[in-house]
Amino acid sequence: MFEEKVKNADMGLTFDDVLLIPSKTPIEPKDVNVSNFVTRNIKVKIPILSSPMDTVTEARMAIAMAEFGALGIIHRNMSIETQVNMIRRVKREESLIIRELYTITPDTTVEEAERIMRENNIAGLPVVEDEKLVGILTNRDIRFFRGKKIKVKELMTRDVITADEGITLEEAVKIMHKHRIEKLPIVKDGILVGLITAKDVLKRERCPHASRDHEGRLLVGAAVGPFDVERALALEKAEVDVIVIDTAHAHNEKVMESIKKIRKKIDVDIIAGNIATKEAAEDLISLDVDALRVGIGPGSICTTRVVAGIGVPQITAIAQTADVGKKYKIPVIADGGIRYSGDIVKALAAGANGVMLGSLLAGTEESPGREIIIGGRKFKVYRGMGSLGVIQQGISDRYGKIGKGKIVPEGVEGAVPYKGTVGEVLTQLVGGMKSGMGYVGARNIDELQKKGKFIRITQAGLKESHPHDVNIIAEAPNYPMS
Ligand code: XMP
């Protein structure tokens, strides 16, 4: 019986076990479109998610990811309030229409108005009486005015140029240029409901491919613990776009019961995981989740496979779960183990709709990890969410609890080389993805999944794949030497 069990064990493959075969193609990499759905309802131009880890994604990373057309998932190793504030920060960052406004009344003193502007770093204030917009006071109105005791109504501009809800970026630009104004209040039945500023318009024009919600605000996700209903509700209230139910083993009955409860209480898209088998994919999809997060133990900082002896090599895990995902039209996110852009192409060809990255983004300027110098070179700290440091500091429900005070970590703490900005890293990754899809002859991810054929390789093939028999004298941005 045991001999049979071992003899009949399935073969599991991972990134280094396979390559994609090139084929005849009329397609140039520049013609390739990598956009894709990463959850049932969220489509992004770049199907890359940043991991919800405390050395990878906080507000700054999420803003950079969304501005580039990708998606950041803010980690949960912080209080609900702090996480909610981070979501709000991302949502405010580039909204075309600001909704939470500072306003003044005609009877506010100019001195007070100036103080509000100075303290909040804003250059103009709408003037409101009984919720109706009656004027606007900008720096221009008061720049050369010296007597401070006067009221706003004596200096404000009364003929305010306004616009309706639903105005587009292009229309706003036209109006602001025509009237040479920097602030455009949005009014509904005379009542002030929002404001467009020149600063935000210019920012929007800089990032035309950004991931945005229906109001033009940046998209952002956040992680919650498997039993943290309160956090999920608070995040939904803060208008997060997607919630990741973050657990090491989502195919656990208690976790699944809780996912079911969370699903009933919230409407935002849910990514559930992690899983690595088709049975788990079937079971989670039956709970009405909107995407699956796949990967047990492939991560660069993970020790689950060696500590627990558990896991499924990642290409096989992706393929198995993606077959189920495709059946129900539920996207699969390949999470962990991705070291090069080529791994992303392989993950997508094996059936993933998008990928989640930890180590590849942890070394960027925008990650929250601490900078350190080793041997004269700059590094950033990167640690597993099941590492000793994280468990001792806060999260202890993901891995490693076997009773009071006893900790069995399933991750390590390390450092990755500093890599510049998220924009620079994503440019290289997307370039590699487009190149790979060009070799296969795939215009988009759907075609990559249909046309991409794998070949299994040997250790000798892997050795041949990397630079060999040379001393590298210049480091390439997409092939770092650590
Ligand atoms: P990469 O390879 O991109 O992997 O650095 C990131 C993913 O690793 C998972 N993760 C962990 N897995 N122990 C684990 O077994 C850990 O301590 C740990 N921390 C993170 C997670 O899925 C992440 O997205």
For 80-104, what is each residue's pLDDT tens digit? 999 999 999 999 887 778 888 889 9
pLDDT at 11: 95
Q: Is the pLDDT of residue 342 over 80?
A: yes
Whether 226 is in the pocket of ligand 1, judged by its Cβ within 6 Å, is no
Peptide bond preceding 139: is omega within 30 degrees of 0, i.e. cis?
Answer: no
- Pair (239, 308) in one structural domain: yes
How far is ligand 1, taken at its centre, from the CA of residue 412, in Å? 10
Does a structural domain hold residue 144?
Answer: yes
Does a structural domain hold residue 472?
Answer: no
Whether 390 is in the pocket of ligand 1, judged by its Cβ within 6 Å, is no
For 151-194, what is each residue's pLDDT tens digit? 889 889 999 999 998 888 888 889 999 999 989 999 998 899 99
Q: Is the pLDDT of residue 418 over 90?
A: yes
- Pair (240, 352) in one structural domain: yes
Residue 303 or residue 131, greater confidence: 303
Atom 14, ligand 1: residue with shortest CA distance: 302
Residue 36 or residue 411, greater confidence: 36
Does a structural domain hold residue 133?
Answer: yes
- Pair (162, 186) in one structural domain: yes
pLDDT at 148: 62
Whether 336 is in the pocket of ligand 1, judged by its Cβ within 6 Å, is yes
Q: Is the pLDDT of residue 120 over 90?
A: no
> What pTM was computed for the model?
0.87
Final residue in a domain of this structure, among 170, 197, 224: 197
- Pair (64, 162) in one structural domain: no
Least reliable range by pLDDT among 137-151, 434-448, 464-478: 137-151
For 427-467, what is each residue's pLDDT tens digit? 999 999 999 999 999 999 999 999 999 999 999 999 999 99
How far is ligand 1, taken at its centre, from the CA of residue 226, in Å? 16
Q: Is the pLDDT of residue 283 over 80?
A: yes
- Pair (231, 346) in one structural domain: yes
- Pair (125, 73) in one structural domain: no
Whether 355 is in the pocket of ligand 1, judged by its Cβ within 6 Å, is no
Residue 469 or residue 338, greater confidence: 338
Kindly report the CATH number assigned to the domain that includes residue 438: 3.20.20.70
Number of domains the chain is built from: 2
Whether 304 is in the pocket of ligand 1, judged by its Cβ within 6 Å, is yes
Helix or strand or coil: residue 454?
strand
Does a structural domain hold residue 387?
Answer: no
- Pair (224, 318) in one structural domain: yes
- Pair (192, 235) in one structural domain: no
Is residue 207 among the annotated active site residues? no
Q: Contact at 8 Å (CB) between 244 and 219?
A: no
Q: Which of 76, 204, 217, 398 is catalytic?
A: 398
Is residue 302 among the annotated active site residues? yes
Atom of ligand 1 nearest to the CA of 337: 2
Final residue in a domain of this structure, among 169, 197, 225: 197
Least reliable range by pLDDT among 82-91, 129-138, 303-312, 455-464: 129-138
Atom 24, ligand 1: residue with shortest CA distance: 51
Does a structural domain hold residue 376?
Answer: no
- Pair (219, 334) in one structural domain: yes
- Pair (120, 87) in one structural domain: no
Whether 57 is in the pocket of ligand 1, judged by its Cβ within 6 Å, is no
Q: Which of 212, 302, 339, 383 is catalytic?
A: 302
**Domain of residue 129, residue span:** 110-197
Q: Assign 203 a pLDDT band (cuts: 50, 70, 90).
A: confident
479: Cα separation from own chain's centroid: 23
- Pair (312, 237) in one structural domain: yes
Kindly report the CATH number assigned to the domain that includes residue 154: 3.10.580.10
Q: Assign 400 a pLDDT band (cuts: 50, 70, 90).
A: low
pLDDT at 481: 72
pLDDT at 397: 67
Atom 9, ligand 1: residue with shortest CA distance: 299
Instruction: Output the average pLDDT for the chain.
Output: 92
Final residue in a domain of this structure, among 163, 197, 231: 197
Does a structural domain hold residue 417?
Answer: no
Does a structural domain hold residue 480?
Answer: no
- Pair (166, 81) in one structural domain: no
Does a structural domain hold residue 398?
Answer: no
Q: Assign 482 a pLDDT band (cuts: 50, 70, 90).
A: low
Q: Is the pLDDT of residue 134 over 70?
A: yes
Whether 52 is in the pocket of ligand 1, judged by its Cβ within 6 Å, is no
> Can you tell me the mean pLDDT for 271-283?
97
Q: Assign 401 a pLDDT band (cuts: 50, 70, 90).
A: low
